[in-house]
Amino acid sequence: MSTLLPLSAMIPTRLLLLLALLPICLCQSLQGVLIDCGADVGSVINGLEWLPDSGYISAGSSKVIAREDLVQTLFTVRSFPLSNNVFKKFCYEIPVDGTKKYLVRTTYYYGGVNGNTNPPVFDQIVDGTLWRVVNTTEDYLRREASYYEGVFMPTGKNLSVCVAGNTYTDSDPFISALEVVPLWDQLYNSTDFRAHALSLVARHSFGYDGPVFGYPDDQFNRYWQPFGADAFPLSNPQDLAVSGIWNLPPQKVFHTRLSKSLVEPLTLNWPPGPLPGGVNYSIALYFADDHASDSNNSRAMDITINSVPYYRNLIRTPVGLVVFSSQWPLAGITNLTLTPAPGSTAGPLINAGEVYQVIPSGGKTLARDVIAMIDLRNHFHNAPADWSGDPCLPSRYTWTGVTCSYGPRIRILSLNLTSMGLVGLISPRISRLTALSSILLGNNSLSGTIPDLSSLKAVQNLWNHSSVFGELAEPTRSVSLNPTNVLISLEILEQNLILVFVAQLLAEQQSNGSSSAQSKRKRRIGTEVHAGESFADSATMRSSLHQHSPGRKLR
């Protein structure tokens, strides 16, 4: 069916052949952060240090799995209540170097912690990017843990990795372990990580039949799985100088291979399982010969994927090489075929391969708005549990009470924090959210002064054109162009809190000698503000925005 496509559609944008040239240097210790979710103490497993998660997340609760034969990192999970939390995300925030890209691995082992038989199915998100659906059902039936790997470029000083409640199932999202490891610039560098991220589909060491391996064989702790029943372990494996192969595969993958001793094609159904179409894949294939080439094409082979030429006349060498393409369309079952090139006298072979799905980056909310929102969050003692990660992205997972505009610049458009039981202060940085056109803060226990909101042009504009408060606008301005009043004008549309400030304002005006018009208005508002008289003291007003216990509520 692929032949029906115009051939040009199948030609990779970038297809590169790389030779290993540099000497060996395997002196790296693992960088990065390994988090044992739900654990309250750290641990060391196979020489790697795992941290408890409390320093990286505040939402959710820790749960212990009632099984004793589990590795330490699966023993506890952090679980997030789903009730009313559909389309909310809960994020780990990991400080990172924004100039690097990171390998992110999430691990899940359900262990029945929610009481349901089947594991929950939910979304996982990195920064503003919807990474993929987490469905561990099949693995869990086999009593196995599941992991997902991806490569992401952070959009800020923290990388956020979130699990997020969707409507697929009705039990709580959870996570067992999270690893975030910085990668060297040269890894996967044919992908533009400002526009894309990579989500791992398969990573196999061919002809290998041992357990999955990572660190220390792989200096970045990428997990390599065994593939191929007809193992051809090399009788005399030599360590290769992998440092010249851009993606820095572990030497260990060159110790085994799949091959044919006859000069005939080798076909693998790889990556195993059907792949979703309509997306591109990034493919890297690794080869090393155990003989030097005795002529230009005696050990050459052609590579096709589903009968489409992927690379022609690949001449294997003992130093090892990788052939990769950054955007290759695949769909359904994939056949990888290695055919000896005409004139070749050697059978085909392959040592390892990686396939990633190329996913579009979700982008990021304007940094200045994000900083202001974080400051706002930090001034509340009890900000909503889902106020972490990007405030606006992915668009289905905005922070509770936040709406955004999704133009070329992603901005905070309105805040509706009504009745959230918030305690604390309103950060003055709210005035930096210059795209804000509406702020609703009613029925919370906020205290302190109302920040200067004169920078919020949209709010000012609304004030100027408010038909409801047009009449009030003039006297208000003459009192002072105190942005406090602006906040009031918006609030009054929805909330009684504002009425407090209108009352305050009028009280202020009155104390300077009232006009009859103002008195009339005061009466009108006074009837709405049942407790109007208790707010006559404007000094009290200004310093206490705090909320009213139900008994003292205004309306």
Ligand X SMILES: *[C@@H]1O[C@H](CO)[C@@H](O)[C@H](O)[C@H]1NC(C)=O
Q: In Å, how far are 1, 135, 352 from 293, measured between CA atoms?
A: 36, 46, 20
- Tracing tokens 């002072």 back to the chain, one arrives at 480
How many whole angstroms separate alpha carbon 195 and alpha carbon 179? 23
How many whole angstroms separate alpha carbon 389 and alpha carbon 94? 10
Is the distance from CB of 87 to CB of 396 less than 8 angstroms? yes
How many whole angstroms separate alpha carbon 213 and alpha carbon 249? 12
- Supply the DSSP symbol for 415: E
Smallest gap from Cβ 537 to ligand X, in A, equals 15
Among 464, 515, 540, 543, the residue binding ligand X under the rule CB under 6 A is: 464
Mask: binding to ligand X, 495-534, rule CB under 6 A, as x and -? Answer: -------------xx--x----------------------
Mask: binding to ligand X, 378-407, rule CB under 6 A, as x and -? Answer: ------------------------------
Smallest gap from Cβ 11 to ligand X, in A, equals 9
Tell me the window of 142-150, 172-180, 276-284, 310-318 that interacts with ligand X (CB under 6 A): 276-284
| Binding to ligand X, residues 405-424 (CB under 6 A) | 416, 418-419, 421
Of the pair 233, 470, the CB lying nearest ligand X is at: 470
Tell me the window of 19-27, 74-82, 235-243, 475-483 that interacts with ligand X (CB under 6 A): 475-483
How many whole angstroms separate alpha carbon 134 and alpha carbon 49? 26
List, in sequence order, the alpha helices (H) in 43-85.
72-75
Does position 98 interact with ligand X (CB under 6 A)? The reply is no
Tell me the window of 172-180, 232-240, 272-280, 535-543 that interacts with ligand X (CB under 6 A): 272-280
- Tracing tokens 């159904």 back to the chain, one arrives at 269
Does position 460 interact with ligand X (CB under 6 A)? The reply is yes
Please list the residues that pair with 94 across neighbouring strands: 159
How many whole angstroms separate alpha carbon 395 and alpha carbon 402? 11
Tell me the window of 37-45, 61-69, 183-191, 427-435 that interacts with ligand X (CB under 6 A): 183-191
* Residue 359: its H or E element: strand 352-360
What number of chain residues touch ligand X (CB under 6 A)?
45
Smallest gap from Cβ 489 to ligand X, in A, equals 11
Any residues with CB less than 8 A from the CB of 69 and at least 6 apart, and which?
A: none
Does position 246 interact with ligand X (CB under 6 A)? The reply is yes
Q: In Å, how far are 151, 153, 487 from 183, measured between CA atoms?
A: 9, 10, 47
Smallest gap from Cβ 307 to ligand X, in A, equals 6
Smallest gap from Cβ 29 to ligand X, in A, equals 21
Q: How many CB atoms lie under 10 A from the CB of residue 247? A: 21
Q: In Å, how far are 256, 323, 346, 439 from 351, measured between CA atoms?
A: 6, 12, 15, 59
Does position 295 interact with ligand X (CB under 6 A)? The reply is yes
Binding residues for ligand X (CB under 6 A)? 13, 55-56, 93, 95, 121, 135, 137-138, 158, 168, 186, 189-190, 246, 267, 278-280, 295-296, 306-307, 327, 333, 335, 374, 416, 418-419, 421, 440, 443, 457, 460-461, 464, 477-480, 494, 508-509, 512
